[in-house]
Amino acid sequence: MSLNNKHISTNPGSPATRKMTLTPFLFMFIFSSLSSDYLKAEEIMVNGQASAWVGYTDDWRGGIRYVPQLSLSGKVLEESHIDAEISLNAYIFDDDTDLKLYRSWLRYSTERFEMRLGLQKISFGPAKILRSLMWFDQLDVRDPLELTDGVYALLGRYYFLNNANIWVWGLYGNDDLKGLETFETDEDSVELGGRYQFPVPRGEMAFSFHHRNIDKNDWKGKMSRSMSNGTENRYAIDASFDVGVGLWFEASAGEIGITTRKSGWEKFLTLGTDYTFDISSGIHVLYEHFIESSDSEISEEDRRYSLSALSLDFSIGVLDSVNVIGYYDWEEKKTYAYLGWQRTYDNWMVNLSIFSSRKDETSLYSGNGFLCMLTYNH
């Protein structure tokens, strides 16, 4: 993972256009259900977010984006609900213009259970900046809009009375790289996984697992050796604690089956802590350290990459907030920085940022420069 990870995308032109084939059928089903005798619509909402930005790194650049959103909700019987969301991402970025599906999901929920089907965001783990559990999203802490591509999935969650919860998911049709993946997923296979999160003294802990098949053509294009197996099993443990200061960690290890006897391991570790000083501006300080390594054995490493991040954020009055992030690349011994200012009104948001980072075509915060963004929510 680099400062601008190749899978993190705040550039609206980089992700592949989402397939929209099933969307009309999904919402025809929703509207027909809401008009039935068993389910009555309680709320239909139309929202949207318009944003425009201009910036400079090696050259001037700019763009505009509009994300319209339709939300529906209704009641099923007495103790269960159904709701849905569809949203699009329409943008003009430099010379690139596109319209793609951003979210499209249907959810059934009760007091302690929910099941969601469609194009959705799946994100978990306590880390904030350098995330080892960035399995399915591309969230960038520097992006004030918090945009990320979703995944086509069926996600079920059950919440126990003791605040524990269990997640089970199945993914299909997500052929592009997701999160921290190095190799694409085989387009004809189903991905399966789950997560169990439970309370511990002064915090929470969780175990996660994910299984998928790797695209052998993508492997062949990136590696010198051939692959006959092509499976990946990903294991993770994470925890967060409040002991006066916040403490957390995320540890993830992925075993890639190259042949029936030969495997490779990709390992990620994040350690973090934060504290909010009790003064008028509420200064929040956060530190995270990230380690990525790989080898043929889980206990060894022939490649290691380390990155640290120190963040400071605070408010100035009611409308203004400031965020400062410093990064240090331990292998290249280089320092990068981000300074962001945000003013928030009822519907408007103004963001100004100055940054230095590695060059990366998939990020608006690539290289050395500045960015100005104006956002309107309705």
Whose tokens are 């239909």? That residue is 44
Q: Could you give the number of structural domains in the chain? A: 1
- Provide the 3-class DSSP secondary structure of residue 299: coil
Contact 49, 364 (CB under 8 A): no
State yes or no: pLDDT of 325 exceeds 80. yes
pLDDT, tens digit, for every residue of 156-210? 999 999 999 999 999 999 988 999 998 999 988 999 999 999 999 999 999 999 9
For 109, list phi and psi in degrees, rounded to 5.
-145, 150
State yes or no: pLDDT of 29 exceeds 70. no
The pLDDT of residue 217 is 87
The pLDDT of residue 260 is 77
The pLDDT of residue 7 is 37
In a domain, 8, yes or no: no
In a domain, 13, yes or no: no
State yes or no: pLDDT of 247 exceeds 90. yes
CA 254 – CA 172 distance, rounded (Å):
19
What number is the average pLDDT over the span 344-352?
Answer: 96
Contact 359, 366 (CB under 8 A): yes
pLDDT, tens digit, for every residue of 115-156? 999 999 999 999 999 999 999 999 999 999 999 999 999 999
pLDDT, tens digit, for every residue of 297-324? 655 556 789 999 999 999 998 999 999 9
In a domain, 118, yes or no: no
pLDDT, tens digit, for every residue of 54-67? 999 888 999 999 99
- Provide the 3-class DSSP secondary structure of residue 88: strand
In a domain, 63, yes or no: no
State yes or no: pLDDT of 24 exceeds 60. no
Q: How far apart are the first and last CA of the chain?
A: 36
In a domain, 372, yes or no: yes
Q: What is the CATH number of the domain that holds 316?
A: 2.40.160
In a domain, 34, yes or no: no
Closest-CA residue to 104 (of 171, 23, 21): 23
Average pLDDT over the chain, rounded to an integer: 87
> Over pLDDT 70: what percentage of the chain?
87
Residue-number span of the structural domain to which 252 is assigned: 126-377
Whole-model pTM? Answer: 0.88
State yes or no: pLDDT of 6 exceeds 60. no
In a domain, 151, yes or no: yes
pLDDT, tens digit, for every residue of 151-162? 999 999 999 999
In a domain, 181, yes or no: yes
